[in-house]
C-alpha cells in the first residue's frame, strides 16, 4: 500500500511537469505566430507599395533598404526634378535621394542613401544647416547653405525643408536648388552695374565740362559779339544822320539795311542767351496762380496797343506748382503769339483754361481764332529759327526769331511736362502744355 501510494505520488508529479512544459511551449508558439503575422504584414506592405524603405540595425548603425518599385510614379517625378531632393530620418540619415542631388555633390544617388545628411555640408555651414533641419511635422524652413561638391568645391543652394509624420516617425523632405547660375548672373549684374556707374560718372563729368564750355560760349556771345553789333548799328545811324545826303537814296537804303540787320542779329543773340539761361537756370518751385498771370499779361498787351479789340476768356483759379519766372515766360510767349496772329481779325478772341490729360496731370492751353497754321508743319513750331509766317504778314508786331516756342518747350520739359499744338489754316491755333502735377496739388 505504501509503495502504491509512493508510485501514485510520483506519477502525479510527472503529470504536473508535463503540463507546465506544454504551457511554455504554447506561449513560445504564440510569440512566433505573432512575429510571423508581423512579417507577413511587412511583406504585404512592401508588395503593395505601402513602404519604400526599411531601416535595420541599432542606433547609429542603421542600414537602409530602399525599394525601387515602390510608388513608381512619385519616384519618376522626383528623379526628373532639376532640384536635388532627399528624405531624411529622425536621426539625420538619408533614406532616399534623387540623381540631381547626387550630381550636385559629385556622387551617385545610391551612395548617399544611409549616410548622415550632415556629411553633405561643409563644417562651417553645419550649424546653420542643423537649425534649418530642426522642423516638426507640418512645419517648414528655407535658407541658403553650401553643399560639398566634387573635388572639395562648394555649391551654393537654396534649401527648403518640410517635416511630416509617417506612422509616428518624423521624416524631413529636403529640396535643394542650385544657385550657381544665379550667383554668376548676380556677379555679372554687379560688374555691369559698376561699369555703368563708372560710365555715368564719366558722362556726368563730360556734361559738366560741356556746361562750362557753354557758359564760356554764352559769355563770349554776350560780350564779344554784342559789342561790335552795337557799334555797327551806331555807326550806321551816325552815317545816315551826318552823311545821308551824300549817300544818295541807294546809299541810304544800304545803310538802313545794315542797321536793321545788326538790330536783327542783336535780337537773335539776346534770344539765344535767354534760351541758354532757361536751360540752365535752377528751378524754384512754388504755387503759382496761372490765371492771375494771364490776366496781367493781357492787361499789358492792351496797354501797349489800346487800339486793338481782343476778347479774353480766362479761367479762374488755375494753380500749379512751378518756377514763377519761367512759367511766366511760357505764358508770355503763348499769349503774345496769340495776340500777334489774331491781328487781322476784328472779333479776335484768346482763351486760357485748364483740363486734364490721360495721365491726370495739369493740362493748360492757350487758344486763339487767328490765322492758325498748316498741320503738316506742326513739327517745325518747336524748332529753333523756324517760322510758319513771314514777318511782313504782321507789321508792327515784331519780326520774331523762332526761339519763343523752343523756350516754351524747354521750360515745360524741365517741369516734367510736354507741349503740343493743334491748328488749321485760318482756323486758329491751340497750344497745350502739361506740368506733371495733379490738379489741386
CA distance 165 to 284: 68
pLDDT tens figures, 219-275? 676 677 777 888 888 888 888 888 888 888 888 888 888 888 887 777 777 777 776
CA distance 428 to 424: 6
Query: Does pLDDT of 92 surpass 90?
Result: no
Q: Kindly state the DSSP code that residue 116 receives in the 8-state scheme.
A: B
Listed in sequence order, the DSSP H helices in 157-179 are none
What is the pTM (predicted TM-score) of this model?
0.49
CA distance 101 to 178: 10
CA distance 62 to 90: 12
Contact yes or no for 406/275 (Cβ under 8 A): yes
The C-alpha cell 541810304 sits at: 252
Inter-helix orientation angle 226-280/180-220, to 10°? 150
**In the structure, what pLDDT confidence band is assigned to residue 91 with cuts at 50, 70 and 90?**
confident
pLDDT on residue 2: 34
pLDDT tens figures, 1-12? 333 333 344 444
Q: Kindly state the DSSP code that residue 223 receives in the 8-state scheme.
A: I
Amino acid at each position: 500500500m505504501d509503495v502504491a501510494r509512493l508510485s501514485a505520488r510520483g506519477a502525479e508529479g510527472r503529470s504536473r511537469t508535463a503540463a507546465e512544459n506544454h504551457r511554455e511551449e504554447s506561449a513560445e508558439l504564440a510569440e512566433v505566430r505573432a512575429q510571423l503575422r508581423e512579417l507577413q504584414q511587412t511583406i504585404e506592405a512592401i508588395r503593395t507599395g505601402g513602404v519604400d524603405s526599411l531601416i535595420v540595425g541599432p542606433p547609429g548603425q542603421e542600414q537602409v533598404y530602399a525599394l525601387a518599385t515602390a510608388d513608381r510614379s512619385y519616384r519618376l517625378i522626383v528623379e526628373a526634378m532639376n532640384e536635388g531632393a532627399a528624405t531624411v530620418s529622425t536621426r539625420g540619415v538619408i533614406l532616399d535621394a534623387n540623381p540631381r542631388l547626387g550630381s550636385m555633390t559629385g556622387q551617385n544617388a545610391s551612395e548617399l542613401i544611409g549616410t548622415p545628411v550632415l556629411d553633405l555640408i561643409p563644417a562651417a555651414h553645419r550649424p546653420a544647416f542643423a537649425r534649418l533641419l530642426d522642423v516638426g511635422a507640418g512645419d517648414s524652413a528655407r535658407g541658403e547653405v553650401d553643399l560639398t561638391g566634387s573635388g572639395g568645391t562648394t555649391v551654393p543652394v537654396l534649401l527648403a525643408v518640410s517635416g511630416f509624420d509617417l506612422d509616428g516617425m518624423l521624416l524631413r523632405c529636403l529640396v535643394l536648388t542650385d544657385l550657381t547660375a544665379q550667383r554668376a548672373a548676380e556677379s555679372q549684374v554687379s560688374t555691369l552695374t559698376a561699369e555703368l556707374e563708372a560710365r555715368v560718372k564719366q558722362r556726368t563729368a563730360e556734361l559738366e565740362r560741356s556746361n562750362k564750355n557753354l557758359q564760356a560760349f554764352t559769355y563770349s556771345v554776350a560780350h564779344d559779339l554784342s559789342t561790335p553789333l552795337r557799334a555797327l548799328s551806331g555807326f550806321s545811324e551816325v552815317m545816315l544822320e551826318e552823311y545821308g545826303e551824300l549817300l544818295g537814296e541807294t546809299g541810304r537804303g544800304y545803310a538802313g539795311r545794315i542797321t536793321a540787320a545788326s538790330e536783327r542779329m542783336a535780337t537773335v543773340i539776346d534770344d539765344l542767351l535767354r534760351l541758354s539761361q532757361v536751360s540752365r537756370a535752377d528751378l524754384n518751385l512754388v504755387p503759382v496762380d496761372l490765371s492771375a498771370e494771364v490776366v496781367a499779361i493781357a492787361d499789358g498787351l492792351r496797354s501797349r496797343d489800346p487800339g486793338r479789340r481782343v476778347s479774353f476768356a480766362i479761367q479762374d483759379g488755375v494753380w500749379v506748382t512751378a518756377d514763377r519766372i519761367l512759367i511766366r515766360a511760357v505764358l508770355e510767349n503763348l499769349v503774345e503769339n496769340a495776340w500777334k496772329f489774331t491781328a487781322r481779325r476784328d472779333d479776335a478772341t484768346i482763351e486760357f483754361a485748364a483740363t486734364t490729360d490721360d495721365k491726370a496731370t495739369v493740362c493748360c492751353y492757350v487758344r486763339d481764332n487767328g490765322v492758325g497754321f498748316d498741320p503738316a508743319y506742326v513739327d517745325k513750331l518747336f524748332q529753333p529759327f523756324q517760322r510758319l509766317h513771314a514777318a511782313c504778314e504782321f507789321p508792327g508786331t515784331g519780326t520774331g526769331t523762332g526761339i519763343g516756342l523752343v523756350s516754351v518747350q524747354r521750360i515745360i520739359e524741365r517741369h516734367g511736362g510736354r507741349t503740343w499744338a493743334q491748328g488749321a489754316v485760318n482756323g486758329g491755333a491751340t497750344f497745350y502744355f502739361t506740368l506733371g502735377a495733379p490738379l489741386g496739388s
